[in-house]
Structure 1
Amino acid sequence: MSTEVRVPTLGESIVDATIASWQKKEGDQVRRGETLVELETDKVNVEVSAEQDGVLQKIVKQEGEVVSVDEVIAVIGEEAAATATNGTSAPVEMANAQKPTPPPVQRQSTGALEAMRPSTGSLEAQRQPTGALDVQRPPSPLARRIAAEHNLDISQIRGSSPHGRVTKDDVIQYMEQSTQPTAPIPRVSTVETPTSPVPAVQPQQVGGQAAVSARPEERVRMSRRRQTIAQRLVEAQHTAAMLTTFNEVDMSAIMEVRSRRKESFKERHNVSLGFMSFFTKAVVGALKAFPRLNAEIQGNDMILKRYYDIGIAVGAEEGLVVPVVRDADRKSFAEIEREIADLAKRARENKLSLAELLGGTFTITNGGVFGSLLSTPILNGPQVGILGMHKIEQRPIALNGQVVIRPMMYLALSYDHRIVDGSEAVRFLVRIKELLEDPEVLLLEG
Structure 2
Amino acid sequence: MSNTIEVKVPDIGDFSEVEVIEVLVAPGDTVAAEQSLITVESDKASMEIPSSHAGVVKSVMVKVGDKVKQGSVIVQLEAADAKEAGAAKPQAAQPPARQAAAPAVPPAAAEPAEADTRPESGGKPVTVTVPDIGGATDVEVIEIMVAVGDTVAAEQSLITVESDKASMEVPSSHAGVVTAVKVKLGDKVNQGSDIIELRSTGAAPAKAEPAQAKPAAAEPAQRAEPAAAPAVAAASEPPEAAPSSGGAPLASTPPERHSPTEAFAETDVPLRNLPHASPSVRKFARELGVNLASVRGSGAKNRITQDDVRQFVKQALAAGPGPAATMTAEGGGLNVLAWPKVDFAKFGEVEAKPLSRIKKISGANLHRNWVMIPHVTNNDQADITELEALRQALNKENEKSGIKVTMLAFLIKAVVAALKKYPEFNASLDGDNLVYKHYYHIGFAADTPNGLVVPVIRDADKKGIFELAKETAELAKLARDGKLSPSQMQGGCFSISSLGGIGGTDFTPIINAPEVAILGVSRSTHAPVWNGKKFVPRLMLPLSLSYDHRVIDGAAAARFNAYLGALLADFRRIAL
Work out which of the residue numbers 376, 383, 396 in structure 2 matches 1:250. Answer: 383
2:50 pairs with one of 47, 69, 73: 73
What is the match of residue 433 of structure 1?
Answer: 565
Question: Could you tell me whether the CA contact under 8 Å between 1:368 and 1:390 is conserved in 2?
Answer: yes
The alignment status of 1:216 with 2:346, answered yes or no, reads no
Number of the residue aligned with 2:257 = none
User: Among residues 497, 508, 525, which one is paired with 1:365 in the alignment?
Assistant: 497
Q: Name 2:428's counterpart in structure 1.
A: 296
CA-to-aligned-CA distance 1:290-342 (integer Å, 9 cap, x gap): 00001110100001111000001011122111010000000111111111001
C-alpha displacement at 1:241, in angstroms?
Answer: 1.5
Structure 1 residues 90 and 413, CA gap change in structure 2 (3 angstroms): closer
Partner of 1:261: 394
Change (3 A) 1:332 1:218: same
Name the structure 1 match of 2:209: none
Q: How does 1:25-104 map to 2 (within 5 A)?
A: 60=37, 71-75=48-52, 92-93=85-86, 95=88
Secondary structure of the residue aligned to 2:398 is: helix
Question: 1:264: Cα distance to partner?
Answer: 2.1
Deviation at 1:394, TM superposition (A): 1.2
Q: CA deviation at 1:72?
A: 2.4
1:277 aligns with 2:277: no
- Higher RCO, 1 or 2 (CA under 8 Å, sep at least 6)? 1
CA distance in structure 1 between the aligned counterparts of 2:475 and 2:351, rounded to whole angstroms:
33
Q: Alpha-carbon deviation of 1:90?
A: 6.8
Q: What is the match of residue 400 of structure 1?
A: 532
Equivalent of residue 509 in structure 2, options 377, 384, 390: 377
Q: Amino acid of the residue matched to residue 351 of structure 1?
A: K
Shift of the alpha carbon at 1:221?
Answer: 2.5
Quote the Cα distance in structure 1 between the aligned partners of 2:497 and 2:10: 43
Distance 2:465 2:31 in 1: 41
Distance 1:70 1:361, change over 3 A: farther
- 1:219 Cα shift? 2.2
Contact 1:5 1:74 in 2 (8 A): no
Change (3 A) 1:94 1:304: closer
Q: How many residues align?
A: 269
The answer on 1:229 being equivalent to 2:362 is: yes
Change (3 A) 1:237 1:23: closer
Other-structure match for 1:350: 482
User: In structure 2, what is the Cα distance between the partners aligned to 1:378 and 1:327?
Assistant: 23
User: Aligned residues: percent identity?
Assistant: 31
Shift, 1:263, TM fit = 2.2
1:339 maps onto 2:471 in alignment: yes
Cα deviation digits, residues 242-297 of structure 1 (max 9, x gap): 10001101111111112222122343x43111111110000000000000001110
The separation in 1 between residues aligned to 2:536 and 2:46, in whole angstroms, is 61
Provide structure 2 residue ranges, at least 5 long, that are not aligned to the other structure: 1-7, 13-21, 40-44, 54-81, 91-345
Residue 519 of structure 2 is matched in structure 1 by 387
Task: Quote the offset at 1:411 in angstroms.
Answer: 0.6
In the alignment, the residues of structure 2 paired with residue 4 and residue 264 of structure 1 have an alpha-carbon distance, to the nearest angstrom, of 63
Q: C-alpha separation between the residues in 2 aligned to 1:367 and 1:424?
A: 24
Cα distance between partner residues in 1 of 2:390 and 2:52: 60
Q: Secondary structure at the match of 2:50?
A: strand
Shift >4 Å, 4+ stretches: 2-6, 21-25
Aligned-pair distance for 1:225? 2.4
Cα 1:217–1:396 shift into 2, 3 Å: same
Structure 2 counterpart SS, 1:238: helix
Aligned to 1:386, the other structure's residue is in SS state strand
CA change 1:398–1:70 in 2 (3 A) is farther
Q: Secondary structure at the match of 2:472?
A: helix
CA distance in 2, matches of 1:426, 1:358: 28
Q: CA deviation at 1:234?
A: 1.6
Per the alignment, do residues 24 and 214 of structure 1 end up closer, same or farther by CA in structure 2, a change over 3 Å counting?
closer
C-alpha separation in 2, matches of 1:92 and 1:215: 43
Measured at CA, do residues 246 and 91 of structure 1 come closer, stay the same or move farther in structure 2, by a change above 3 Å? closer
Structure 1: which 5+ residue stretches go unaligned? 7-15, 26-35, 38-58, 63-67, 77-88, 98-212
* Pair 1:437–1:237, CA change in 2 (3 A): same
The structure 1 residue matched to 2:439, chosen from 307, 314, 333, is 307
Look up the match of 2:181.
none
Question: Does the C-alpha gap of structure 1 residues 254 and 72 become closer, same or farther in structure 2, counting only changes over 3 Å?
Answer: same
TM-score (norm 2): 0.43
Distance 1:395 1:91, change over 3 A: closer
- More displaced, 428-437 or 396-405? 396-405
Tell whether the 8 Å contact from 1:4 to 1:74 is kept in structure 2 after alignment: no
Report the equivalent of 2:546.
414
User: Cα gap change, 1:389/1:90 in structure 2, threshold over 3 Å: closer, same or farther?
Assistant: closer
1:64-119 deviations in Å (ceiling 9; x for gaps): xxxx995221348xxxxxxxxxxxx976325289xxxxxxxxxxxxxxxxxxxxxx
Match of residue 327, structure 1, among 459, 471, 481:
459
Change (3 A) 1:311 1:70: farther
Q: Superposed, which structure 2 residues align to 1:96-115 within 5 Å?
A: none
